[in-house]
Structure 1
Amino acid sequence: MVKLSISIFSLLATAALAAAVPTPNEIFKRDVTCRDDLKADSLARVDEAVECINYLASLGGQDCVATVSGQSFCRRGQTQITGLSRLGGGQNAVSSCQDVARGAGQILDRCTRGDGTVRGANEAWGNGNLLVDIRRVP
């Protein structure tokens, strides 16, 4: 009887410890930044952003490489999805284009406005080193 209760307590302790350890995606989970504070002329069109997200998702596991100065991943009309590396020393940040699309999709989920525009930034899914930005460009 004693061995059974010790085993149950060991199992419960192990389960609690496993539940407390964050997964890689939770480590990099941050809040989406909606940029409603910027001028209206920086707001992108949602329909164009959706086209870009679908395009990036269609690329699947292909690498999307972001530079420190910013790399355009997709542009439709006047809407652009850009990747920016947060790594120091001029290093590029890399995520799958599908993970970039997931990060951009979270921007749409949180930052879409009632007038059909959007503006915001978020990390690529599971990669805090690659910042995804949706904006209007001239």
Structure 2
Amino acid sequence: MKQNFWTKCLAVALLIIGLGLVFNQQIADFLVKEMTRSSLTKKTVTVTQKKGDFNFKKVKQASSTTIAKESVINQATGMIGKISFPAVNLKLPIFYGISNANLLRGAGTMKADQKMGQGNYALAGHHMNNP
């Protein structure tokens, strides 16, 4: 009786792992979309309230593991603005700094001293596979 129970548990676990591997990209795309959507619903903060990270060397490629970790641990610096591209139906939050946490949720500011609405305003973002 116990052996039958453990066999069923193992079969269910293997099925879940297999589905996770097959639908890996779709799960990652869904998590990024949800992180972006939830960030867009939050209130914007002023730049003086937040400290940003502007070190390009710390930015890592967006992978399934980094997306999964970031969806659980929210380390984004807080949204300072929004950007919209109606032609492609894209709305993104703008965060202060270019940390991985910021770039997985939206766009990040590339320079600490730039002011929104004054001169050139450089933004960075991750290239995602889902168009």
With structure 2 as the length reference, what TM-score do the two structures score?
0.30
Higher relative contact order (CA 8 A, sep 6+): 1
- For the pair shown, the structure with the greater C-alpha radius of gyration is 1
With structure 1 as the length reference, what TM-score do the two structures score?
0.29
The structure in which a higher percent of residues are helix is 2
